[in-house]
Copies of this chain bind each other. A is one copy, B any other.
Amino acid sequence: MSGVLYGVGLGPGDPELVTIKAARLVREAPVVAWFAKKGRRGHARAIADGFIAFAAEQVPLYYPVTTEIPFADAAYEQALARFYEESADALAKRLDGGADVALLCEGDPMFYGSFMHLYERLRPRYRVEVCAGVSGMSGCFAASGQTMTWGDDVLTVLPGTLSEQDLATRLATTDAAVVMKLGANLPKVERALRTAGLFERAVYIERGTMPGERILPLARLAGASAPYFSMILVPGNGRRP
């Protein structure tokens, strides 16, 4: 009997925002794996710290290359594809041995999650179960006190990697927006928000629900870039009796 692969969403950062199910799945797993930058502990691993069983085998999966902004570069794509294959093989070895594996995922596994790369590779051969988590953006809605979507509001989730024109057009035609993948895209995203007339309503959040959390109106943020764990929220303004 092969083991089961669990994709376990651990929420936005605060270990208390882990679900009861995720805590149980991590606690019961004989093998725990996670993605991390080389030389770092890894965000998902940090959230799960209090839940991992003493005797569990721990399998860090270190990205060969990492950057906040995805490269169009073919060599980068190839290196990542190879990395996901090797990671899938590493987990398959444990699953073949009959051990269940919990793959730790920050936020929600099916929402921009690296887990999905292993999910696609392993589910033809193994039982794979996904445990939803509080998304990073939901954590930020609460942390910043932004009432994001009302009634018939449309919400658009945008990566900051889009072109300025594309961002501006999409921002101008939505009620509420979340902009992620800021990094060096921040000045471009700010210009697009100004074009769309939303700059004054935008809220900047860094490390939402985590130590070092920082929340301020975007208009007060003076910076040419933003770290990985940051996003911009534009709350909706829909029907509210």
Contact = CB atoms under 8 A, between A and B. Distances in A.
Interface of A: 7, 9, 11-12, 14-21, 23-24, 70, 77-78, 80-81, 84, 108-112, 116-117, 119-120, 123, 128, 130-135, 138-139, 141-143, 145-159, 161-162, 170, 173-174, 181, 209, 239-241
Contacts of A81: 241
Contact of A159 (B20, B152, B157): B152
B19 A110 contact: no
Contact of A108 (B78, B84, B112, B138): B138
Contacts of A116: 147, 150, 240
8 contacts: A18-B19, A19-B19, A108-B138, A108-B142, A128-B145, A130-B145, A152-B162, A154-B156
Nearest to A154: B158
Contacts of A110: 138, 141-142, 146-149
